[in-house]
Amino acid sequence: MINKFIILTSIICLSACLYQKEIDGSYDTSIKQEDNCQFQLYQSLSGVPQSTRYFLNQKNVKNIYFINGNIIDKNKDGLVDENSLRTYIRKIIKSRTASDIGVLDWEGKAIHSLEKDPYNSDNFRKTEKQYIKAYMIAKQEAPHVDWGFYGLPFRDYWNRNEKWKQSNQKLSRILEKTDVIFPSVYDFYVSHHSSGLESRDSLYVSDNIKEALKFGQRFNKKVIPFYWHRYHDSNKKAGMQLIPWEEFENHLTAGIEASYKDKYIDGVIWWGSDKYFYNIGNKGIVNEVGKFRSFEEYQDHVTRRYTTNILQLLSTYCE
């Protein structure tokens, strides 16, 4: 049914409230990205131990280029800082012939304007031009990289209605211009079997990805959603806890199987920032690390386990 995926993994570091059953147990170290499979696993790691890098290399996991808003909009005024963006791209991409995937993560004031300001307003038009300018700069500096913006089209959990769909239509010019569409389907709520919320969460993933696929089909663009292995930090009770593998697997499956007019996603980006949250003293992660001799050992273990599980899942679609 689905004959091609490029699975992208952006793991800036894996962590959070990890139940003992999720960190114990063995995994098949022989699992590896198959050369004859269309799936490709990418990552964007920060501060991972050398043993983890070696493991990911052995699994044929490659990097993506990830640029956050502090580089794009240095003054946080909704305007592209051209010098900052060009300088950073030249720093991380050494050759103009480099390829792969590039993500522009421009949130804050700019993305708020895209979502909230009326389509015909001066402010919206100004922001729209700035997004297109950021893309054009990135494309000029690295023409063979496929660039796109994180979080577009807009995600919604509770109000996936016509008003939401109409709001996303405002993004048409931006999404038509860029190379890849990067929607986000982070998990906000615990949805294990006993909670009765499993199907609701799967529908949330499926509906949001279908919305992105409509644009992908319309403009002939790749669609690669972002996943996070932790509950979103906006959830005061469960935020930053590690999503149990069974639930994470359900979310991945819902995205892989979503379709619109025979178009499917072209991959998955697995994002995380555990090292950052550990460094600022997030209690859940600090407690989890206490079960190990060091953060590096903890991070290495979680990365290996979830990478192996994802590869095992994806291999079932590589036929």
Tokens of 100: 């792969």
Residue where the block lists tokens 């996936």:
160
Tokens of 49: 């131990």
Tokens of 183: 């929607």
- Position 129 scores a pLDDT of 98
Beta strands, E only, 158-219: 180-181
Of the listed ranges 37-46, 96-105, 238-247, the one predicted with least confidence: 37-46
Average pLDDT of 150-157? 96
pLDDT of 70 > 50? The answer is yes
**DSSP annotation of 34:** -
Helix, strand or coil for residue 101?
strand
Helix, strand or coil for residue 228?
strand
Tokens of 81: 């800082």
- Position 12 scores a pLDDT of 42
40 contacts 6 by C-beta, under 8 angstroms = yes
- Position 23 scores a pLDDT of 47
- Position 214 scores a pLDDT of 98
The CATH class of the 20-315 domain is alpha beta
**DSSP annotation of 193:** G
pLDDT > 90: percent of the chain: 57
Q: Model confidence at 273, in pLDDT bands (50, 70, 90)?
A: confident
Q: Model confidence at 239, in pLDDT bands (50, 70, 90)?
A: confident
Residues 100 and 9: their CA atoms lie apart, in Å, by 12
pLDDT tens-digit series, residues 133-152? 999 999 999 999 999 999 99
pLDDT > 70: percent of the chain: 85
User: What single letter denotes the amino acid at residue 256?
Assistant: I
Tokens of 312: 């095992």
Average pLDDT of 255-263? 94
Pick the closest to residue 226 from 184, 285, 190, 172 (CA basis): 184
134 contacts 85 by C-beta, under 8 angstroms = yes
Residues 290 and 15: their CA atoms lie apart, in Å, by 12
Of the listed ranges 46-50, 89-93, 275-279, the one predicted with least confidence: 46-50
Residues 67 and 87: their CA atoms lie apart, in Å, by 12
Helix, strand or coil for residue 271?
strand
Higher pLDDT, 22 or 61: 61
Of the listed ranges 26-30, 111-115, 291-295, the one predicted with least confidence: 26-30
pLDDT tens-digit series, residues 28-51? 556 666 665 656 777 776 777 888
pLDDT of 24 > 80? The answer is no
Task: Measure the CA angle with vertex 183, ends 282 and 274; round to 5°.
Answer: 20
**DSSP annotation of 241:** P
Higher pLDDT, 27 or 234: 234
pLDDT tens-digit series, residues 182-219? 999 999 999 865 556 778 899 999 999 999 999 999 99
Tokens of 265: 């996603």
